[in-house]
């Protein structure tokens, strides 16, 4: 056995609150990698509706989440549709109410605040009720603390807490981070990951690199 299927919506028997997102999210503007899960006691299968806010097709932005991410209850991804125009004397969105108030509105005024896609890397842990703001880019292996508010860039393998989010430490030194990013274990197939679980759970990057080289030398089974 090589772990659960990434296409099983409920990979933990008896625990329906844990849901793999890839098989249940069907919106073209949301991309989720294998084995990424959302944990919520109340309708976790409604992740796209309850956790991804102001995500309108006409805005054109995407939410991209990598593989092997862990997303806790109440995390919110605020997308670019939440923006109000900042180019005038008021931020009030008259145009959305119509009845003549839409006249003269220039959509480019709204797009001026567009921050692009929101991208979460691989092996990222996002704590309970964290808020990820439009255009945030969270690197591989990062940890986002509970109720943190994240915008902009988060470097790989850093721990971010608070509002506004701030880096409190790096999980590993620069050399180890570079070696982990080169290994990209999350792209391995399930059999290879299963074979190296003890090394992934341990803290010896050299041992994992040696195992990876041995796997490469052995070639396909």
As to burial, measured by CB atoms within 10 angstroms (0-12 exposed, 13-18 middle, 19+ buried), residue 16 is middle
What is the chain's length? 221
- Please report the beta strands in 66-163, taking only residues with DSSP state E, as ranges in sequence order: 70-71, 76-78, 118-120, 125-126, 131-132, 137-138, 143-144, 149-150, 153-154, 158-161
Catalytic residue among 2, 10, 15, 84: 84
Q: Report the alpha-carbon distance of residue 167 to residue 147 in Å, rounded.
A: 14
Q: Is 84 a catalytic residue?
A: yes
Cite the active site residues.
84
């Amino acid at each position: 056995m090589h772990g659960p299927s990434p296409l099983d919506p409920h990979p933990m028997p008896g625990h329906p609150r844990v849901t793999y997102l890839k098989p249940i999210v069907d919106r073209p503007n949301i991309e989720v990698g294998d084995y990424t899960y959302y944990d919520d006691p109340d309708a976790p299968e409604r992740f796209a509706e309850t956790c991804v806010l102001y995500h309108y097709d006409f805005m054109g932005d995407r939410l991209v989440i990598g593989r092997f991410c862990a997303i806790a209850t109440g995390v919110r991804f605020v997308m670019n549709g939440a923006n109000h125009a900042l180019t005038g004397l008021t931020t009030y969105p008259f145009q959305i109410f119509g009845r003549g108030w839409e006249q003269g509105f220039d959509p480019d005024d709204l797009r001026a605040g567009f921050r692009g896609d929101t991208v979460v890397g691989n092996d990222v842990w996002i704590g309970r009720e964290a808020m990820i703001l439009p255009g945030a880019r969270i690197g591989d292996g990062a940890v986002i603390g509970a109720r943190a508010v994240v915008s902009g860039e988060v470097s790989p393998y850093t721990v971010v807490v608070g509002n506004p989010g701030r880096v409190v430490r790096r999980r590993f030194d620069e050399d180890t981070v570079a070696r982990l990013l080169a290994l990209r274990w999350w792209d391995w197939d399930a059999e290879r990951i299963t074979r190296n679980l003890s090394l992934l759970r341990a803290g010896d990057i050299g041992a994992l690199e040696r195992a990876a080289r041995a796997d490469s030398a052995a070639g396909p089974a």
